[in-house]
Amino acid sequence: MPAYFDEIEIGQVVALGVAAVDERAVAAFCDAFAPSWPVSDGAPDALVYAVWSKLDTESAIDWPQTKRLGVDALRWLRNPPAGELMRGRMTILAKDPVGDGKGIVIAQHDLLDEAGRLVFSCLTRSIFISRP
């Protein structure tokens, strides 16, 4: 991804990677954080959020993103079963320069299952620096 603010394009779609919903991870998460959640119901919402957060963090590690201002409009559409492979993507919705050398980027993030169905989505606002 051309990650500098001035290179980012509205409508640009960026792959955030893939992650499997591991059966042991679901069971351990439920034991620790959602003891009343039946593992047979798939990954609880908080674990789905954690999977998205991991993909987002790992993909953006080398981007000139200096700050995440917000994560809004969180939506959970389904709870993927253990073994499901999920794919993350980010779509640039808007950008706005803020002073010299930086700007705010608004993006929609989606987590999709193997069939391409939406599992989770949210909107983010982040500050990116411009190319030096």
Asked if 128 contacts 103 with a C-beta cutoff of 8 angstroms, the reply is yes
What is the pTM for the complete model shown?
0.92
Q: ∠ CA(56), CA(107), CA(71), 5° rounding?
A: 65
d(CA 103, CA 81): 39
- The answer to whether residues 107 and 130 touch, using CB atoms and an 8 Å cutoff, is no
pLDDT tens digits along 60-75: 998 999 999 999 999 9
Q: What is the reported pLDDT for 1?
A: 64
pLDDT digit string, tens, across residues 5-23: 999 999 999 999 999 998 9
- Domains in the chain, please, with CATH? 5-21+48-129 (3.10.129.10)
